[in-house]
C-alpha cells in the first residue's frame, strides 16, 4: 500500500472474510456515520483463478465494490478528491527484509 505495508495472501483472505461477515460498512475517512456498504467481494488466488478458467494468475488480490449512499461523499469520489479506498483495520507490525 502507500505506507509500504504488506499482508500475506492467507492473512488477506482471512481478513476479507471476517470483514464480509462482520462489517461491510464504510465511513468517510474512517470517521462518522456509515456512508456506504459493500455490495460485492471476491478474493482471487492463483488456485481460484485456475479453477474459474481465468488463466495464469501469479498473486492474490481482492476485488470489491462499495455502494456509496452519501451524495456528497460520492461527489468527492467522482471529482478525484478520494482516489483510493482504505479498509482500515488493525495488525501486529513486523519488520521484513525487502526482496
pLDDT at 40 exceeding the cut of 80? yes
List CB contacts of 52: < 8 A, sequence separation 6 or more: none
**Arithmetic mean of pLDDT, 47-53:** 94
The pLDDT of 42-61, averaged and rounded, is 93
- Grid-cell match 500500500, residue found: 1
The pLDDT tens digits of the residues spanning 55-91 come to 889 999 999 999 999 999 999 999 999 988 877 777 7
With H, G, I as helix, E, B as strand and everything else as coil, classify residue 16.
helix
pTM: 0.72
| Residue 99 confidence class, pLDDT cut points 50, 70, 90 | low
Give pLDDT tens digits for 6-22.
888 999 899 899 989 98
1 has pLDDT over 80: no
Pairing of strands 31-44, 61-68: antiparallel
Q: Which residue has the cell 481465468?
A: 54
User: Are 65 and 42 within 8 A, CB to CB?
Assistant: no
pLDDT at residue 88, as a whole number: 72
Structure-block grid coordinates of residue 75? 461527489
Place of cell 460498512: 25
CA torsion angle 27 84 19 47 (round to 10): 170
Amino acid at each position: 500500500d502507500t505506507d509500504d505495508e504488506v499482508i500475506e495472501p492467507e492473512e488477506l483472505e482471512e481478513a476479507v472474510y471476517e470483514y464480509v461477515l462482520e462489517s461491510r460498512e464504510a465511513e468517510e475517512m474512517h470517521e462518522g456515520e456509515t456512508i456506504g456498504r459493500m455490495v460485492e467481494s471476491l478474493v482471487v488466488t492463483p488456485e481460484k483463478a485456475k479453477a474459474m478458467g481465468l488463466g495464469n494468475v501469479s498473486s492474490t488480490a481482492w476485488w470489491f465494490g462499495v455502494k456509496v449512499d452519501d451524495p456528497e461523499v460520492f461527489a468527492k469520489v467522482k471529482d478525484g478528491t478520494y482516489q483510493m479506498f482504505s479498509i482500515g483495520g488493525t495488525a501486529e507490525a513486523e519488520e521484513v527484509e525487502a526482496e
